[in-house]
Structure 1
């Protein structure tokens, strides 16, 4: 989602699955644009080795998740952008 496309998009689904299992997830194109917390969160949940990959319960305790603002904040931002991009909501 961060790269706005699935990993190995140009490959067949079987090849993509094989590449993820053997090579791992592709490198981020512009990792410096992401916060250190988000990069660490991604490294915890994208481990191909099941022994090293964090569980959902562990991920929910990651500082990236626990430091997030409440969901209603995001709704306010989305509504604000909608109003800015479409000042006449009837259109």
Structure 2
């Protein structure tokens, strides 16, 4: 979704579910404009082994979220994008 479409977007839904289940976790294309911090955080969310996947508490301590601003900072961005879709 960071790149504009979910993995396997062009596949039929059932086929996409099978691919998500059977293939390695998705990665970003080399053209994606994604910071190392975001890439690291998201990669910890898609670990298939539930015993190795980070919990919500772990993710809240990740540098990407621990430095995050208050949600109110997003309001002007949302309003600007709604005005100029």
Which bin holds the TM-score, normalised by the shorter protein?
A: 0.7 to 0.9
Q: Is the 8 A contact 2:27 2:43 kept in 1?
A: no
* Corresponding position of 1:77: 77
* Residue ranges of structure 2 left out of the alignment (5+ in a row): none
Output the CA distance in 2 between the equivalents of 1:34 and 1:62: 16
- The count of residues paired between Structure 1 and Structure 2 equals 83
Query: Please, what TM-score do these two structures have when normalized by structure 1?
Result: 0.74
* Corresponding position of 1:40: 40
Q: CA deviation at 1:83?
A: 8.9
Output the CA distance in 1 between the equivalents of 2:18 and 2:26: 12
| 1:18 and 2:18 matched | yes
The alignment yields a C-alpha RMSD, in angstroms, of 2.1
Query: Please, what TM-score do these two structures have when normalized by structure 2?
Result: 0.78
* Corresponding position of 1:88: none
Bigger Rg over Cα? 1
Q: CA deviation at 1:21?
A: 1.8
* Residue ranges of structure 1 left out of the alignment (5+ in a row): 86-91
Q: Is the 8 A contact 1:8 1:26 kept in 2?
A: no
